[in-house]
Structure 1
Amino acid sequence: MQAKQVTGRCMSMCPDKEIKWREEQKLLHILEMVTGTENSPRPTADRKKVVKSFARSAAGKYLLDPNNLRPPDVLLHTVKYLLTEVIKTDKIPWHIVYDFIMDRLRSVRQDMVVQEIAFEKSIDILQPIVMFYAYSSYRLSEEPLAHFDPHINKTHLLECLKRLLCYYDESGRLKEDSPLRLDKKQINFRFLFEALYLVTNAGDVAANEILQLSFSLSMSYRQNNFVRFCRLIEKLPIQLQCVAALHLPEIRRCAFKIMSVAYNSKNNLMFPLELLKNLLLFNNIVDVKNCCDFYGFKCTKNDVVFVKSDFDGSKTNSFIHLDFIDDVLQTVDICDLVLMNLK
């Protein structure tokens, strides 16, 4: 016998029952407290800011209770709140903000699954969630593992991205005159998210220019064409640049391995550091020298000497933010970046 579909009745971001319970148990997050009560023995819940937290599946009855489930419109409102209001807070370190948003977005996804929300509504909810994970992968890439786990973030990114692409496929199977088919703007978004999947899985995997660029970038990675890979990164939309740039440490390691053979010099043949900086997207000469030193190569003031026997490829250098990406991120509204047209 097929289970009856559950429809949510909770019209706020968090069920009243959960708010009271978390307030009593002192489980409110600092971002959910009434300002000024944070340090009191029992902080007060700000009902306009409390967001339903993620619950393990063991809490079966709670998860299936319609009074604890938020319908699609409320879920979308919740996502917009998290990615417009919360994402910009500067009262606490951003990795803590990330942990809060990630947990609350997991709860949103949980409500979606329990209610089996239709794909046309799920698409609008999932798109900004995917962009949040993509943006966070870059912003927190220099944080220690205790603050940010890139593997967990990538797992959530791919999980949401795959589900989103499946929803796009569902829409594509509808008849041309169906009102549920994607419109032109949504189709362009589909290309962007398909491209994001390629970039996230660079090396594993012709319609739209972004998709073509991303496919070329993925093939460049697979073929060890490090110069082309770096040139293509600069042509991508900023959301994709954030993810593609994370491959640079491995790209540079492979590049140094190839160059240690191609430019192997026992006669002190010099390779210009400035050229190396431009080829591999280093921010400055100091970063180039540090990377060369990391892999065992000796540098002069302006050049590096590639000697095959000096190369130590047993390790990969850590990722450093790119100035040209950071410069763009300084000029854009984070909310616009992750919400796209849903703000």
Structure 2
Amino acid sequence: MEILAELLQAWLLRRTMSTLHMQTSDIRPPSVLQNTLKYLLGLLESTSHPFDVVHDFIFDRTRSIRQDLTMQQIINEQAIDMYEEIVKFHITSHCKLARYSGKSDESSLYYLNMEQLMKCLLSLFDMYDTARRSKGVIKNEAEFRSYYVLLHLGCKIPTMGNSLSLWFCRIPFSILQSEEMCLARTLLRYYRMGDYKQFFSTTATGASHLQSVHKH
């Protein structure tokens, strides 16, 4: 098994190629992409190397997975699941990299991670919109849209698309009324009002682990 893992890791390292040089035969099918992602995310809690090194390795290769999905124009439940897992990776990294943000190199990683998190979320939302036209309600949509709102809690967010108020206008009413979105909007309101007592009290009683990451 160790040899197999080493071979897979070596193969993953060779995947950092530009789309300009990528051939049709280089593009991995969804089942391979999903297995690759599972392997990569299994490395997230590794203690063999500093987190910034592990993050950099996973960061490049999850971006390559997204690249393959885009080139194949795959928008289905499997692709959405992969995007959601990649978003979770960037959210976890957002918290951990924040601890190193005082150092210039790590600050750059922190910003790049935030930038990719935003891009992943916006791409995921486009996939939700496309899938909803044929399937109706998407299982985790409210949860992941709430993360986008929580990213506005004091973070320096890269400029992506419309302002938050205009973004709310485009969200389906059922999503706006969901428990996850109501919580996110309540936390954002308390934060902007400076009512930190209510903010932390609400966070402690109502936020999931991933949502709690944003209060750091």
Give TM-score, length-normalised by structure 2. Answer: 0.79
Instruction: Map 1:111-190 to 2 at 5 A.
Output: 111-143=68-100, 144-148=103-107, 149-174=109-134, 181=135, 186-187=138-139, 189-190=140-141
SS in 2 for 1:88: coil
The answer to which of 123-132 and 209-218 deviates more is: 209-218
Q: Counterpart of 2:34? A: 76
Partner of 2:55: 98
Q: Confirm or deny: 8 A CA contact 1:54 1:106 kept in the other structure.
A: no
Pairing 1:242–2:209 present: no
Deviation at 1:220, TM superposition (A): 1.9
Task: Encode CA deviations 1:143-182: one digit per residue, 9 max, x unaligned.
Answer: 13313522211110010011111111112212xxxxxx26
CA displacement at 1:129 relative to structure 2? 0.1
Specify every segment of 5 or more residues in structure 1 that has no aligned partner in the other structure, as ranges: 1-32, 36-44, 175-180, 247-343
Structure 1 counterpart of 2:126, one-letter code: C
* 1:185-200 pair list within 5 angstroms: 186-187=138-139, 189-200=140-151
- The equivalent position to 1:109 in structure 2, one of 66, 83, 88, is 66
Q: CA deviation at 1:34?
A: 6.0
- Equivalent AA in structure 2 for residue 156 of structure 1: Q
Letter in 2 for 1:122: A
Distance in 2 (CA, whole Å) between partners of 1:233 and 1:145 is: 30
- In angstroms, what is the RMSD of aligned CA positions? 2.3
Q: Counterpart of 1:47?
A: 7
Q: Which has the larger radius of gyration?
A: 1
- Rounded to whole Å, the distance in 1 between the matches of 2:66 and 2:47 is 26
Larger helix percent? 2
1:89: which partner in 2? 46
Q: CA deviation at 1:114?
A: 1.5
- AA aligned to 1:218 is L
Report 1 or 2 for greater relative contact order, CA contacts < 8 Å, sequence distance ≥ 6: 2
User: Which stretch has the larger CA shift, 222-231 or 65-74?
Assistant: 222-231
Amino acid at match of 1:77: N
Alpha-carbon distance in 2 for matches of 1:71, 1:182: 26
The answer as to whether partners of 2:27 and 2:68 remain within 8 angstroms in 1 is yes
Question: How do 1:253-272 residues align onto structure 2 when only pairs under 5 Å count?
Answer: none
Name the CA distance, whole Å, in 1 between partners of 2:141 and 2:58: 24
CA offset digits 1:78-110 (Å, max 9, x no partner): 1111112x2132211121000000011111111
TM superposition score normalised by structure 1: 0.51
Counterpart secondary structure, 2:6: coil
**Range moving further from structure 2, 129-138 or 226-235:** 226-235
The amino acid that maps onto 2:127 is Y
| 1: CA distance, partners of 2:197 / 2:99 | 24
Aligned length: 190
2:75, 2:131 within 8 Å by CA — same for their partners in 1?
no
Structure 2 residue 184 is matched with structure 1 residue 214: yes
Alignment CA distance shift 1:34-1:147 (3 Å)? farther
Residues 182, 76 of structure 1: CA spacing in aligned structure 2 closer, same or farther, 3 A cutoff?
farther
**What is the SS of the residue equivalent to 2:105?**
coil
Q: Give me the identity figure in percent.
A: 26
Mapped partners of 2:58, 2:136: distance in 1 = 28
Give the distance between the partners of 2:209 and 2:106, measured in 1 at CA. 24
